[in-house]
Amino acid sequence: MFGETSAFSGFSVDDLDAARRFYGETLGLKVEEAGEGEMRMLFLTLAGGTRVFVYPKEDHTAASYTILNFQVDDVDRAVDELAARGVTTERYPGFDADEKGILRGGDGRPTIAWFTDPAGNVLSVLKEDV
């Protein structure tokens, strides 16, 4: 039914200005702002042209799951670059991350590190290990 229909994903934040700075300046994504006043919103453009809608929500609750996964060639380098920009990795119970917060893959599992945006939403950098 929707196989030929364009679509986009979205998520909420509690501070649109902080989100604009984080996604634009810290992560280096193209960020466009639209609307005015209470109707302000952001559009993030990912590699390949995919757009993601970001909207403010007064009673925002951070997503407890990963909302964006950034595929990278080198997770160690990505984690180091994030750390240099003030972003720390998250560690979750049940996952044996190393001292950098990286969960090493293998056996078909990705190497992955999680971090959060200013609103507490979970993101990751990962490399598919084949």
DSSP reduced 3-state for 100 = coil
pLDDT at 37: 79
Cα 99 → chain centroid: 21
| Alpha-carbon gap, residue 88 to 71, rounded angstroms | 18
pLDDT at 54: 97
| The token pair that represents 13 in the structure block | 């934040």
Task: Decide: 118 and 13 in contact? Cβ < 8 Å.
Answer: yes
pLDDT at 1: 85
pLDDT at 111: 95
Closest CA to 24 of 6, 5, 45, 9: 45
Instruction: For CA atoms 67, 69, 75, 78, give the dihedral sign.
Output: negative
pLDDT along the chain (130 residues), means of 10: 89 96 97 89 94 95 94 96 96 90 88 96 89
